[in-house]
């Protein structure tokens, strides 16, 4: 069977998940291709031996003077690629690419699309929302990452929605139990964008410094807010505590060398970096951006989760972990079990059921 994954690039959470799924389906003897519609941008994080990588940036092949013109040209070139590749099933990630695939495919082949954020909170432009409401009907199935996400677009697609969390790979390196660095090493990974709300994280560091200044926070990632965040760090007089480290490919080594993982996003899907940090054995402190976070973090048992606006509790949990080695070890050891709960093979079986069911419906 020929399976085509469609995603933006290998940079980011969606691209990482596609790679893990591609590996899993190649092991299952599928013929697997990945169509990268923003271009590769970075090398794959995992071994993609046996998988066809199609580097096809829409910005190069679908230039247009208006958004509507770009959409139409993008649909045309995607349709051409689908005709060339001739997949048996298409799996698309990310809202805009999902819409384009729905428009290009028009139910010619089984198509499964996946929302990678909370679709009710994802800040897409109005015309994309209109197109989503109109064209998602051409998808056979819609995969969301948490049960609470199924009611987007007024619930009109709820009967098509399935819930599949992300796979979590068992890391090759783990965090030594019970050892905490001096100064304390805090870490976070993510795109430097408004969604991740690193300003809130920086504000929490300003509060933390009032209690204990012996810490560093390293933020790994790139994005449109980089210059603004650098200025904000200076403004808050945290240049000796908070550092923007740029993009990193080997996230597990970075995480294993840190002490506590922080996540302050305003909204998320199933957060890859948080789950990877937990798999390494890193205690995490997170804001509760949606109820699905509780499927990863059992508060006080394998991490800490606080209300969106409760910065005081967020900081107090960091201090608790630093000052209580027994609690730190207990949380870190429990966090590691996330890689078994969301094992790649378990998640691939859920995807395989969706693929098989879509094929059966097409017969």
User: Tell me: the pLDDT tens digits for 314-342?
Assistant: 999 999 999 999 999 999 999 999 999 99
- Spatial contact of 187 and 220, defined as CB atoms under 8 Å apart: yes
User: Tell me: the pLDDT tens digits for 23-53?
Assistant: 999 999 999 999 999 998 889 989 999 999 9
Q: Rounded to two decimals, what is the model's pTM?
A: 0.91
- Spatial contact of 93 and 111, defined as CB atoms under 8 Å apart: no
Please give the share of the chain, as a percent, with pLDDT higher than 70: 100
Going edge to edge, which strands form the sheet with 141-144? 52-55, 31-36, 2-7, 89-93, 111-114, 141-144, 161-163
How far apart (Å, rounded) are the C-alpha atoms in residues 12 and 110? 26
Q: For 2-167+344-362, give the CATH class.
A: alpha beta
Give domain limits for the chain. Answer: 2-167+344-362, 184-341
Say if 2-167+344-362 and 184-341 have the same CATH topology: yes
Q: What is the pLDDT of residue 288?
A: 96
- Spatial contact of 109 and 14, defined as CB atoms under 8 Å apart: no
User: Tell me: the pLDDT tens digits for 63-113?
Assistant: 888 989 999 999 999 999 999 999 999 999 999 999 999 999 988 999 999
Give the pLDDT band of residue 363 (cuts 50, 70, 90): low
Across 259-287, average pLDDT: 96
| Domain over 184-341 is classified CATH 3.40.50.11890 | no
């Amino acid at each position: 069977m020929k399976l085509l994954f469609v995603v933006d690039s290998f940079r980011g959470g969606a691209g990482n998940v596609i790679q893990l799924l591609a590996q899993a389906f190649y092991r299952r003897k599928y013929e697997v291709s990945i169509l990268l519609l923003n271009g590769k941008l970075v090398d794959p994080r995992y071994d993609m031996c046996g998988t066809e990588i199609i580097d096809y940036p829409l910005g190069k092949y679908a230039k247009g003077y208006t958004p509507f013109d770009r959409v139409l040209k993008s649909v045309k070139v995607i349709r051409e690629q689908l005709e060339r590749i001739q997949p048996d099933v298409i799996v698309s990630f990310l809202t805009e690419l999902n819409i384009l695939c729905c428009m290009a495919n028009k139910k010619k082949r089984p198509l499964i699309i996946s929302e990678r954020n909370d679709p009710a909170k994802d800040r897409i432009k109005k015309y994309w929302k209109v197109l989503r409401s109109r064209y998602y009907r051409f998808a056979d199935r819609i995969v969301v990452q948490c049960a609470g996400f199924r009611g987007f677009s007024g619930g009109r697609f709820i009967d098509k929605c399935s819930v599949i969390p992300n796979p979590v790979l068992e890391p090759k390196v783990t965090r030594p139990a019970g050892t905490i660095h001096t100064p304390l090493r805090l870490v976070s990974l993510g795109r430097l964008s408004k969604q991740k709300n690193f300003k809130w994280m920086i504000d929490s560091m300003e509060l933390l410094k009032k209690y204990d200044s012996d810490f560093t926070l390293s933020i790994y990632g790139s994005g449109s807010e980089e210059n603004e965040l650098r200025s904000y760090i200076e403004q808050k007089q945290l240049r000796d505590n908070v550092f923007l480290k740029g993009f990193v490919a080997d996230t597990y080594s970075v995480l294993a060398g840190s002490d506590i993982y922080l996540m302050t996003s305003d909204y998320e899907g199933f957060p890859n970096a948080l789950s990877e940090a937990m798999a390494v054995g890193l205690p995490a402190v997170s804001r509760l951006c949606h109820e699905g976070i509780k499927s990863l973090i059992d508060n006080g048992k394998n991490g800490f989760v606080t209300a969106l606006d409760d910065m005081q509790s967020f900081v107090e949990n960091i201090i608790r972990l630093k000052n209580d080695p027994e609690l730190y070890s207990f949380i870190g050891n429990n966090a590691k079990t996330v890689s078994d709960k969301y094992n790649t093979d378990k998640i691939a079986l859920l995807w395989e059921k969706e693929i098989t069911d879509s094929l059966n419906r097409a017969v």
